[in-house]
Amino acid sequence: MNRDLIKAIVFDLDGTLYVSETFEQIIWESASRYVGELLGVPPAEGGARLKELRQRLTDERGTVQTIAVAIETLGGTVPELHRRFAEELDPHDYIQPDPRVLPLISALGQRYVCWLLTNNNQTLTSKILSCLDLEQGFQRVITINDTWRPKPDQVVLDQILTELSFPPEAVLFVGDRYDIDLRLPEQLGCPVLLTKTIDELMQLEVLLPTHLI
């Protein structure tokens, strides 16, 4: 990554700007209930089937597959999955913000175009950003509701690069799942940063200038 070329940063949300294993489990349980209804089995068996299918699809395709892909394979839909998430889940009960994140995003936003690209839905994204005090942290927030095309998706990525009007090497993508958040941008020539913890996210303080000169 040539830091002098960076003009924009596209952040993932879940697992990148916050980490909550408990909330991940709550999301999984909601998806498991949906699969159980689709297959006519108890939620626990639905979750087992979902896990098994997701692993099989990952093995067959050679990259990690999302819950959404597995749901569609089982005959469900991404909009219905996210309708349930929006209706059933309250992140305020599970997410504790790291106090380092807000100052980091605020500082970066003074120098770079900062966008958020998430596979989460608009309702939950708004609630999560509220938990993190980041409602005003990004110039643009792109959720699954905008296209119903979950990451990784070539069409969505092409639209983002076109709208930003920067060359790929000027757009840094930051996320916690390489196959989902970063592989496709990297293939297109974008620099990427894999961050699985907030400590790793804070590398941006060193990797990039964070203040205007």
The strand order across the sheet containing 192-194 reads 140-142, 113-117, 8-11, 171-175, 192-194
Distance, CA of 21 to CA of 33 (rounded, Å): 19
Q: What is the pTM of this model?
A: 0.93
Distance, CA of 55 to CA of 51 (rounded, Å): 6
Q: Where in the chain is the domain with CATH 3.40.50.1000?
A: 3-18+97-207
CATH dotted code for 3-18+97-207: 3.40.50.1000
| Whole-Å CA distances, 184 to 49, 168, 173 | 28, 11, 10
**Reported confidence tier of residue 51, pLDDT bands at 50, 70, 90:** very high
Closest C-alpha to 151, from 25, 36, 30, 14: 14
**Reported confidence tier of residue 211, pLDDT bands at 50, 70, 90:** low
**In this predicted model, which residue has the larger pLDDT, 150 or 2?**
150
